[in-house]
Every structure is written in structure tokens, then in C-alpha cells.
Amino acid sequence: MDAIRRLTSDKGVVIFSKSSCCMCYTVKVLFNDLGVNPMVHELDQNPEGRDIEKALMRLGCSTAVPAVYIGGTLIGSTNEVMSLHLGGCLVPLLSPYRIIM
């Protein structure tokens, strides 16, 4: 869990992902479309990926990936991100981290 804190503390938006996961891809595209360039950690390409994945599950992620952090706070997985977006609450959360276009 220390690894997760270390990886999420200094970046505004962090996504823990797997390169072969279609839901991870969907979340990454959504964030890019909203003008955010998240720090993405591909767990299947990281030697510590399995341990990070287990720690994410212990922290309460319904699925290990995608796991989205905004401002150091765990938002959740695809369901939580999409619910926030459809409810109009995601963009305000992301506004401090948007790239000026």
C-alpha cells in the first residue's frame, strides 16, 4: 500500500491499468477527451504489478483495474468513474488537472 501512496501522491490523476484491458482503455480515452493527461501505470508491464493489484483490492477497489485516483483520493473503477461523469461530477473533480487547449 505504500507503493500506491507513493505513486499517487505527487500526480493529480493516476490510473492503474493493464494494457490488455478494454475498460482501462475506455477510462483512459475518456480522461484524454476531457483534457486530462493522467499518469498511467500499466500493472502488467510492472514487476511489482501483482503486489500493487492485490493492494488495490485491499483498499476497496471492486476490480483491481482500472483504479482511478484524483488528487490522491481513490475514486474507484469504471463504474464509479462513469457514474461521476454521467452525474456531471467528474469534470469539476478533473478541472484542476486539465491541460489548457
Q: Where exactly are the structural domains of the chain?
A: 1-95
Report how far residue 75's alpha carbon sits from residue 12's, in angstroms, rounded to the nearest whole number: 12
Report how far residue 10's alpha carbon sits from residue 77's, in angstroms, rounded to the nearest whole number: 20
- Burial of 29 per CB tally in 10 Å (0-12, 13-18, 19+): exposed
To the question of domain 1-95 being in CATH 3.50.50.60, the answer is: no
Q: What is the model's pTM?
A: 0.93
Q: Where are the beta strands (DSSP E) in 1-101?
A: 13-17, 39-42, 67-70, 73-76
Q: What is the mean pLDDT of the chain?
A: 93
Tens digits of residue pLDDT in 54-75? 999 998 887 889 999 999 999 9
